[in-house]
Chains A and B, each alone.
Chain A
């Protein structure tokens, strides 16, 4: 769909031949990773497969030993989390998204607070911060009781949702969700998946990192599976069943019926 709309058929992010070693340990051994726009891509792999290292390279926490990253077709070098933010990459970590003891509005605007001028002073505009935060969250379907409530009072799902809402509001291009649902109840998981879909509808691409296929199968357009520092493969959702994906995550074996399809497409 998006290919027809956009004249330039460039993916949002293209990581080519990413190789990363810590000392003598090779964590990533030449991984290619593509994120189109807008799409939800499930990045799957067991613990220690290398998926978080791959993402940390994308968000500037680590530098790749070899390999090149293209963002919107341009070669970029992301040397710090700050660079990643400048490009429009927002990461929502499982526990690190929000500050529990301060209000939703303060959290929402953290780092880019709204101020008003009072005489010579720049003072936080609490009213506008609360109103706009509530509006922005309502736009993607999150209804909060009051923006003055501390985040600590919200459930895990609501917190993730607010972090997602914030990324959407600030016009980010790529949202990375790191195991967003692993600590949530079934109902809250459904909520978060719902907002993830909304985020895509508003034009973002989403990388959904998980080791549990059940959480992401419903919303993802594509899966990338990593095992032992290598990519097992990219699969479109229609081509592959939930069971097959789970099997590949565990064993790294691509079923024969699939092994030819993705290669020819790319």
Chain B
């Protein structure tokens, strides 16, 4: 003791501080170990005295212990003794033997802490392999089946077999590394222990959810203590043991797995959303059996297509430093234009008048800027003529669906252009500009769809808008796209292959603790790319061949455009509402994420939002980027409107009212910063899914649906706090 005190006195203040921190950390570790040790011994004792039964028996004072009970009894007894012995070992030493000094060759493998680590990893390894083996041989069944000697192992079981196999082998290899003082084993041990701690936590949580089943509602926990223990003790024991060892392993390192993971999350804008997504997913699936059913997942996706599509645009715009409150109105107005173009059709007057009005206004504006009176009058003249043309020429020329969609998208682009142009030319903040246009664009709907009506496609007594596609053409397009996919895939595969080869050739000289991990991940990347590329190309080719095959009997494909946009998939059960719109949504998420992260334009978007002055100084046209993003945002809102019309076939004048705030909330949850320069499209997807999960999940677990907005409010604030903390963590 006196020695350690003198070393404390001699060291500099910062050293003493570090020592104190290490001791404090050790204190918590020791406390955990005491709990683990005592609990293990109690369990062992309970099995011996027959108080706790494992397996199916009722007689309590018994002498016929079965093999499992004997194994568990001995195991927990040894584990408890090692834990307590470790605590005593630490307390006896004046300077606690650390894992670092062990790798320096200062302690034997039998030192407290080291032995504990080796024992834990050994047990994890053996038990994992045994569990895997038992599933493989059919002794242990997962899922709903009874026949024991079986060959039909389901995918859950395969996953568990693979997982336990990998964990088992890594654990045993790590034990070997620890004994031979291979320093890399230190890093691997941290990962294994952390992973198993999470497994323990999961077992604990799922065990707790089963508690209501074994305790009658009128009884207290005390009435069935062995039952409670059986459901919670294994998970708790695994979790606490692993945490204790983990704390010991990371007492003196900076690159512990949790730091690595935290840094990785800090680099990802959607960090809060990723954590929140999985937390909610696990919580709701444990809390409600209905949550992970096909039906719930499909309806969660299908009802959020609108929000998801709009959120892509909002996030994109938000990253460039602006945001758009008018998306709800643009959503409605776009849907309205689409429906009107299909039903009423485009008149000659509109065809001539609208371009005249727009060009006239632009010309007048230009003239005003250049103080050219002639140009102003010419522009205004075109404007008036356009209005007259619209009023007088009423012959309908176009009613087909694809022009209707293009016109709606062009109209939305114009609305977005107006938003952006007002913002740029006046310098008013986007909040005010789009608050104004939110109301103004809503008026379009309220005026056209007058008297509180709802505009219905069915009222026009038209057939569904069919489109006719030549199957040969379709097949050729499919094959061309497949070739493009293969070309892109070839480059991806080549770069993955190069990086794997590099990793392998430098493997011997690489001193990084995680060199095996890097090789694994490079190999995995290659494999994953190969599967994705070949899979996508294969699907495209088979679809094309299918079309060629059908073309023999019927050369044109007749299909309702509504189905193309948002049909229900028919390969799932009839009550599962899975829709094609989900596919369009995911595809657009991937496309825009790609644009954002992998193209020059994406880089400009980040720059414009992060620091417009610097972007301008580097020759980026800030105004152009902003206006373009406003147009993209409006067009995506309009596309969402069109897809919604495809499903509902009507337009309500209040359609999309309030959508803007929901979507901005989802984007913010997904990690986009209101001040710009930061965010991700994948994050927006997760944000929308979190929003949707809360909506369905809260209902499923029986929370009053009126509390929903309250929960969402709290979640938004928590998400932003997490995102801010994650961003600060990397400074």
Query: Which residues of B have CB within 8 Å of A237?
Result: none
Binds A, one of B185-193, B441-449, B611-619: B611-619
Q: Is A118 an interface residue (CB 8 A)?
A: yes
One digit per residue, 1 when the CB lies within 8 angstroms of any chain A CB and 0 when it does not, for chain B 110-133 equals: 000000000000000000000000
B613 touches A118 (CB 8 A): no
A110 touches B618 (CB 8 A): yes
A111 touches B618 (CB 8 A): yes
A110 touches B603 (CB 8 A): yes
Q: Count chain B CB atoms within 10 A of each CB in A93, A96, A100, A115 and give the residue with the most.
A: A96
B484 touches A102 (CB 8 A): no
Within 8 A of A (CB), among B578-637: 597-600, 602-604, 606-607, 610-611, 613-620
Query: Which residues of B have CB within 8 Å of A122?
Result: 599-600
Give complex CA distance A97, B611 in Å: 9
One digit per residue, 1 when the CB lies within 8 angstroms of any chain A CB and 0 when it does not, for chain B 465-499 equals: 00000000000000000001001100110000000
Q: Is B731 an interface residue (CB 8 A)?
A: yes
Q: Is A121 an interface residue (CB 8 A)?
A: yes
B614 touches A101 (CB 8 A): no
| Given contacts A96-B613, A101-B677, A110-B615, A123 and B606 within 8 Å (CB-CB) | no
Nearest-neighbor residue (CB-CB) of A85 within chain B? B619
A111 touches B620 (CB 8 A): yes
One digit per residue, 1 when the CB lies within 8 angstroms of any chain B CB and 0 when it does not, for chain A 30-54 equals: 0000000000000000000000000
Query: Which residues of A have CB within 8 Å of B598?
Result: 123-124
Q: How far is the CB of B467 from chain A (nearest CB, A)?
A: 26
Within 8 A of B (CB), among A110-149: 110-111, 113, 115-116, 118-124
A113 touches B611 (CB 8 A): no
Give complex CA distance A72, B269 in Å: 47
Give complex CA distance A100, B612 in Å: 11
Query: Which residues of B have CB within 8 Å of A98?
Result: 611, 614
Query: Which residues of A have CB within 8 Å of B487?
Result: 118-120
Q: Is A106 an interface residue (CB 8 A)?
A: yes
A99 touches B600 (CB 8 A): no
B677 touches A102 (CB 8 A): yes
Q: Is A240 an interface residue (CB 8 A)?
A: no
Q: Is A82 an interface residue (CB 8 A)?
A: yes
Give complex CA distance A110, B608 in Å: 11
Query: Which residues of B have CB within 8 Å of A95?
Result: 613
Q: How far is the CB of A259 from chain B (nearest CB, A)?
A: 38
B492 touches A124 (CB 8 A): no
A121 touches B488 (CB 8 A): yes
| Given contacts A96-B611, A118-B488, A101 and B617 within 8 Å (CB-CB) | no
Query: Which residues of B have CB within 8 Å of A106?
Result: 603, 606
Q: Is A152 an interface residue (CB 8 A)?
A: yes
Query: Which residues of B have CB within 8 Å of A121?
Result: 488
Give complex CA distance A148, B189 in Å: 28
Q: How far is the CB of A80 from chain B (nearest CB, A)?
A: 10
Q: How far is the CB of B77 from chain A (nearest CB, A)?
A: 50
Identify B492's interface contact among A100, A111, A118, CB under 8 A. A118
Q: Is B730 an interface residue (CB 8 A)?
A: yes
Q: Is A150 an interface residue (CB 8 A)?
A: yes
Q: Is A81 an interface residue (CB 8 A)?
A: yes
Give complex CA distance A95, B484 in Å: 44
Query: Which residues of B have CB within 8 Å of A81?
Result: 616-617, 619
Q: Is B383 an interface residue (CB 8 A)?
A: no
A99 touches B606 (CB 8 A): yes
Identify A96's interface contact among B600, B614, B677, CB under 8 A. B614
Q: Is B678 an interface residue (CB 8 A)?
A: yes
Give complex CA distance A101, B492 in Å: 27
Give complex CA distance A109, B615 in Å: 11
Identify A124's interface contact among B600, B618, B620, CB under 8 A. B600
Nearest-neighbor residue (CB-CB) of B597 within chain A? A124
Give complex CA distance A152, B267 in Å: 12
| Given contacts A102-B677, A123-B598, A124-B598, A96 and B488 within 8 Å (CB-CB) | no
A102 touches B488 (CB 8 A): no
Give complex CA distance A116, B488 in Å: 12
Identify B614's interface contact among A97, A109, A123, CB under 8 A. A97
Nearest-neighbor residue (CB-CB) of B730 within chain A? A153
A120 touches B484 (CB 8 A): yes
B607 touches A110 (CB 8 A): yes
A123 touches B599 (CB 8 A): yes
Nearest-neighbor residue (CB-CB) of A150 within chain B? B730
Q: Is A91 an interface residue (CB 8 A)?
A: yes
Q: How far is the CB of B597 from chain A (nearest CB, A)?
A: 8
Q: How far is the CB of B375 from chain A (nearest CB, A)?
A: 23
Query: Which residues of A have CB within 8 Å of B611?
Result: 96, 98-100
Give complex CA distance A137, B603 in Å: 20
Give complex CA distance A106, B608 in Å: 13
Give complex CA distance A85, B617 in Å: 9
A99 touches B616 (CB 8 A): no
Give complex CA distance A123, B491 in Å: 11
Give complex CA distance A81, B677 in Å: 23
Nearest-neighbor residue (CB-CB) of B319 within chain A? A101
B610 touches A119 (CB 8 A): no
Q: How far is the CB of A52 from chain B (nearest CB, A)?
A: 14
| Given contacts A122-B599, A123-B599, A102 and B617 within 8 Å (CB-CB) | no
Query: Which residues of A have CB within 8 Å of B604?
Result: 110-111
A101 touches B606 (CB 8 A): yes
Give complex CA distance A147, B598 in Å: 16
Q: Count chain B CB atoms within 10 A of each CB in A85, A99, A122, A123 and give the residue with the most.
A: A99
Give complex CA distance A70, B615 in Å: 27
| Given contacts A120-B484, A122-B599, A153-B730, A102 and B610 within 8 Å (CB-CB) | yes
Query: Which residues of A have CB within 8 Å of B614?
Result: 93, 96-99, 110
Q: How far is the CB of B36 from chain A (nearest CB, A)?
A: 39
| Given contacts A123-B598, A124-B598, A102 and B606 within 8 Å (CB-CB) | yes
Within 8 A of B (CB), among A48-107: 81-82, 85, 91, 93, 95-102, 106
Q: How far is the CB of B43 from chain A (nearest CB, A)?
A: 49
A115 touches B600 (CB 8 A): yes
Q: Count chain A CB atoms within 10 A of each CB in B600, B618, B731 and give the residue with the most.
A: B618
Q: How far is the CB of B609 from chain A (nearest CB, A)?
A: 8
B730 touches A99 (CB 8 A): no
B607 touches A99 (CB 8 A): yes
Known: A81-B616, A118-B491, A153-B731. 4 other contacts (CB 8 A): A91-B617, A99-B615, A102-B610, A122-B599
Q: Provide 18 A-B residue pairs closer than 8 Å at the C-beta atoms, listed in order of the A residue.
A: A96-B611, A96-B617, A98-B614, A99-B611, A99-B614, A99-B615, A100-B610, A100-B677, A101-B606, A102-B603, A102-B607, A118-B488, A120-B484, A123-B598, A124-B597, A124-B598, A152-B731, A153-B730
CB-based closest 4 A-B pairs: A119-B487, A96-B613, A99-B610, A111-B618
